A and B are shown apart, each in its own frame.
Chain A
Amino acid sequence: MTYYNPFQNLELRIAEAYREEVNRFCQTQPDALTKTSPDDSPFHRYVDLWFLAVCLGARKGKRTKIDKPHRFITGEILVNDSWRIELLEFVAISLTDDPWIIDKPREIMDLANELAATGLPDVLSMLTEGGGKPIWNLTDQLLDLFPPGELHEDRSADVSASQPGAEPVS
């Protein structure tokens, strides 16, 4: 059975300047012989951190060009979590207002990489701020994004793609 993955051969990128930091917070470091503790490196793989950065960047609705990009993996990795493929398409549709952008996976990937570039500093900040281990800092910061009380989704609300949708990162 073939899985739908338009991003198969496309590159997932981060800025070279962040590579070491990103490395530190991922458990399966390509150049390391052993795994680190999840408490110090909360993300299992690079793609997990990258995707969270995409989400935070998408909430802001802002694209950031990558000065010196580092390709860490191809989009083949996304087939393991196909819901990420769907979400990338939703993000692309919502930010470009063009449903047929799904025919241009390269553009979607460029968008995703630039959203990740926007969100990555926020992710790193969430990991380091708080005084505790990175996993605890990140957990607290993410929980803070949730409003107190029950979550309610109103689909009929008109959400403009140009408005930053992200909650302020504390």
Chain B
Amino acid sequence: MKFRRARFQNFRLLRDLELEFSVEEAQPLTIIRAENETGKTTILNALQWALFGEEALPDRGVQYRLHPIDWEDSSSPVDVSVELEFEHSYERKDRGGNWIESTEIYLARRSATESILGLDSWSRQPHTFELLQMSESGYTPISGGELLLRQILESNVKDLFFTDGDRALSFITSEISVGEKRRRVQKAIRDMLGFEMLESGITHVRNALRDIQHRAREFGGGGELERLFARKADIEGKIVEIEKRLEDIDDQLSQLAVDFQAVEQKIEAALAKGDKEQLIRLMNQKREERTKAREQLEKLRREHSSLFNRESLALFLLKDQVSKSGATLDELRAKGRIPRTAIPVLMERLELGICICGEPLEPGHPRHAHVMQLIQDQRAASATDDRLTTLRLVANQKLPGIADSSSGWRDGVRAVVDRRDELETRIRELETELKELEDRLEKLPETDIAFLRDQRRNLREARENLSREQGVRQSELRTLQQQRKEVDIDLATLQKRQGISRRLQSRLAAAEDILEVIRKSYAAIEQAEVPQVSKVMNELFLEMIRADPEQNAIIQAAEVTPSYDIAVHGPQTRRLDPDRDLNGASRRALTLAFILALADVSNVKAPNVIDTPLGMMDPLIKQSVLETAVGHCSQLILFLTRSEIRDCEEDLDRFAGRVITLTNSAHYPMMLCNDPGGSYRRVLRCECNHRQYCAVCERITDADAGYLKKRAD
């Protein structure tokens, strides 16, 4: 299908607008240059309304106003219409059995009338729809046009072929669950490849089979036969239940895997920044060490200060004085002045009663009194002499050791000083380390690692439980499948024995064969087509983002997995999260590649109408995306802003068969240079291409933009 032209009347901002689209094979691209708020989304909605009716509108059209919001005459109803001329090609077999292609041109016209009831209320008459076919004599209406149109269109392609960049991201966004994303991808693939039909076929054939079995039971009459049929129905019912449960488990396991990974990453991130408990433990250790060091330092300080009280210091300082005194005392000693030793001798003599000279020393004798007096005199001087003697001995003892004790004092000082330096350095180091730890602790996010670990444990348990259940269910399924086989054998035997009508048997066999073939075909198509979609998507995606896996690009491959995930792989096949690990441009390219791949594989030829697909892309990527999209679309219609067009002008020159510029009259004077006139807002069209501007579309920034030229009117 290709759009040829469209005409809009009174469809919101599209008061009276006509657009033509390129249908050329060589230049399949149509560019509609339109800035924001210029009716791009309105045009998309209008085209979809024309083709699919209200169901294609936002909110299925219930709250969606079709008429212009500033319609002047509220007393008269507003006629709204959209016409779409399109060509449709289809294949048919000729007489020789060969497939040939034919093309027809149609005009679809959908109209509705809305009455304005109040400020915010309006009513709409049911729309009318006409489908006309072009012939040599002009357009001829076709009866049952709506039906034919639906035949021509795949009812679900509207979601895939009318794309705005943001909605398409729903295939990869993390804002919905893994299960829901898979369902969307699966639906897109199935819709495009016609799987729904096969699934529906399987359901209907099963129902038919059950019906036949039921009739066979009734006919057979034998309790055993009935019991076997009932048993088989029961087994099949359980099989369907278990298969459904296994599918649910699969979804839940995938979601758990995603959640588990998210928690692991949080734990890893938190631990990288620092485990709070560990940090606090470390800080306490350091504080303890610092306290001990400070205590030791305090002790050392006291020891240091006690060095100034040492005898060894005093001796060193006073060594000359000690030495001189010692010499003086030695002299006294030499002279015999100290110690006085006479007293013991005199005492002895008194005891003996004989003097040294031999004379008697008896009490009462004058010599005795004299000696007694001598002893008394001696005793009086003795204390001083004793002291002097003692001092002399002290001097003699200490003087030789002064050198050693002094150097001992000096060494003692040095040892204390060295140890103090060590401790003070260590305390400073500890304080620096503590400061660093405190800073780290402060920067720690309020992540409770213990809580995350609990979460992880819970997820693991849930995963284990589900895996266990999965195993059990799979085993149950196998058992049931085996039982079904056995029942079938028993049924066949019993039927043969009981001679059930050949007709019923035949019908059973026929229905079972039909079911089997559809099942296998479905599985085969799914197995063949999904990888094919994946392969094409990968090729297109890498082409768009210019990633060369052999050149060590970060993005190595993209795929649709058998479980319908859209996955992206980095180096060493590491899985990347499209929502988190890809930039905006790559995400858009990925979803676009998926849509194009579906169209490619299913060979559906329909126009791709895309609103602002090149946002967030750098020039090289824009060019790649354009080239790739053009190469894989039979007709591509893009709504682009000036900034999206920038740096793609040459590609557009090459691929665009048509360029139209649209302008919103309401943008004057804030954004438009020239007053478009008129009392109501509308979308204006001019023939400017992507390199031009004119009096209608000139924006305030156009004249200064060196890449745009004013078009002569």
Q: Write the residues of chain A forming the contact surface with B, with a CB cutoff of 8 angstroms.
A: 4, 27, 37-39, 41-44, 48, 51-52, 55-56, 58-59, 81, 83-84, 86-87, 89-91, 93-95, 97, 99-100, 102-103, 135, 138-139, 142-143, 145-146, 150-153, 155, 157-161, 165
CB of B318 within 8 A of CB of A87, answer yes
| Cβ of A148 to closest chain B Cβ, rounded Å | 11
Say yes or no: is B597 at the interface (Cβ < 8 Å to chain A): no
Q: Considering the complex, which residues of chain B in the window 347-400 have a beta carbon less than 8 Å from any beta carbon of chain A?
A: 384, 387-388, 391, 394-395, 399-400
| Other contacts beyond A90-B325, A103-B384, A155-B399: 8, CB < 8 A | A59-B321, A90-B395, A91-B325, A94-B320, A94-B321, A99-B388, A153-B323, A159-B324
- Distance, CA A90 to CA B304, complexed state (A): 27
Q: Mark B458-501, 1 if CB is under 8 A from A, else 0.
A: 00000000000000000000000000000000000000000000
Question: Given A38-B304, A44-B309, A145-B317, A155–B327 Cβ distance below 8 Å?
Answer: yes
CB of B328 within 8 A of CB of A99, answer yes
| Cβ of B294 to closest chain A Cβ, rounded Å | 12
| Secondary structure dominating the interface of A | helix
Name which of B306, B320, B407 has the most chain A CB atoms within 10 A of its CB: B320
Name which of A81, A84, A90 has the most chain B CB atoms within 10 A of its CB: A90
Q: Which residues of B contact A100 (CB under 8 A)?
A: 384, 388
- Interface residue tally on B, bucketed by range: 35 or more
Q: Which residues of A contact B311 (CB under 8 A)?
A: 81, 83
CB of A87 within 8 A of CB of B314, answer yes
Q: Which residues of B contact A150 (CB under 8 A)?
A: 403, 407
CB of B324 within 8 A of CB of A151, answer no
Q: How many CB-defined contacts (below 8 Å) exist between A and B?
A: 137
Can you list 23 contacts pairing A with B, beta carbon distance less than 8 Å?
Answer: A38-B305, A44-B309, A52-B314, A55-B318, A59-B317, A83-B314, A87-B315, A87-B321, A87-B322, A89-B325, A90-B325, A94-B322, A94-B324, A97-B328, A99-B325, A142-B413, A146-B407, A146-B410, A151-B406, A152-B403, A153-B323, A153-B400, A161-B321
Query: Which 4 pairs from chain A and chain B are nearest by CB?
Result: A38-B305, A55-B317, A151-B403, A94-B324
Question: Given A39-B301, A99-B329, A99-B332, A90–B308 Cβ distance below 8 Å?
Answer: no
Say yes or no: is B17 at the interface (Cβ < 8 Å to chain A): no
Q: Which residues of A contact B400 (CB under 8 A)?
A: 153, 155
- Distance, CA A166 to CA B460, complexed state (A): 84
CB of A135 within 8 A of CB of B301, answer yes
Q: Which residues of A contact B306 (CB under 8 A)?
A: 44
Say yes or no: is B417 at the interface (Cβ < 8 Å to chain A): yes
Q: Mark B277-296, 1 if CB is under 8 A from A, else 0.
A: 00000000000000000000
Name the one of A51, A91, A151, A158 contacting B316, with C-beta atoms under 8 angstroms: A151
| Cβ of A15 to closest chain B Cβ, rounded Å | 21
CB of A135 within 8 A of CB of B321, answer no
CB closest chain-A residue, reference B405: A151
- Distance, CA A151 to CA B317, complexed state (A): 12
| Cβ of B619 to closest chain A Cβ, rounded Å | 67
- Distance, CA A130 to CA B314, complexed state (A): 22
| Cβ of A87 to closest chain B Cβ, rounded Å | 6
| Cβ of B377 to closest chain A Cβ, rounded Å | 16
CB of A48 within 8 A of CB of B314, answer no
CB of A55 within 8 A of CB of B417, answer no
- Distance, CA A153 to CA B319, complexed state (A): 8
Q: Which residues of A contact B314 (CB under 8 A)?
A: 51-52, 55, 83-84, 87
CB of B323 within 8 A of CB of A157, answer yes
Q: Which residues of B contact A143 (CB under 8 A)?
A: 410, 413
- Distance, CA A143 to CA B302, complexed state (A): 18
CB of B301 within 8 A of CB of A165, answer no
CB of B321 within 8 A of CB of A151, answer no
Name the one of B325, B387, B394, B407 contacting A94, with C-beta atoms under 8 angstroms: B325
Say yes or no: is B28 at the interface (Cβ < 8 Å to chain A): no
Name the one of B320, B329, B387, B406 contacting A4, with C-beta atoms under 8 angstroms: B387
CB of A153 within 8 A of CB of B384, answer no
Q: Which residues of B contact A86 (CB under 8 A)?
A: 391, 394
Say yes or no: is B576 at the interface (Cβ < 8 Å to chain A): no
| Cβ of B51 to closest chain A Cβ, rounded Å | 92
- Distance, CA A4 to CA B560, complexed state (A): 106
- Distance, CA A102 to CA B395, complexed state (A): 15
Name the one of B309, B321, B326, B406 contacting A165, with C-beta atoms under 8 angstroms: B321
Say yes or no: is B313 at the interface (Cβ < 8 Å to chain A): yes
| Cβ of A11 to closest chain B Cβ, rounded Å | 21
CB closest chain-B residue, reference A43: B308
Say yes or no: is B402 at the interface (Cβ < 8 Å to chain A): yes
Q: Which residues of B contact A91 (CB under 8 A)?
A: 318, 321, 325
CB closest chain-B residue, reference A149: B407
Q: Which residues of B contact A4 (CB under 8 A)?
A: 387
CB closest chain-A residue, reference B386: A4
| Cβ of B378 to closest chain A Cβ, rounded Å | 16
CB of B399 within 8 A of CB of A42, answer no
Q: Which residues of B contact A83 (CB under 8 A)?
A: 311, 314
Q: Which residues of A contact B384 (CB under 8 A)?
A: 100, 102-103
Q: Which residues of A contact B413 (CB under 8 A)?
A: 139, 142-143
CB of B407 within 8 A of CB of A151, answer yes
- Distance, CA A155 to CA B398, complexed state (A): 11
Question: Given A90-B325, A102-B384, A161-B324, A42–B308 Cβ distance below 8 Å?
Answer: yes
Q: Which residues of B contact A159 (CB under 8 A)?
A: 320-321, 323-324
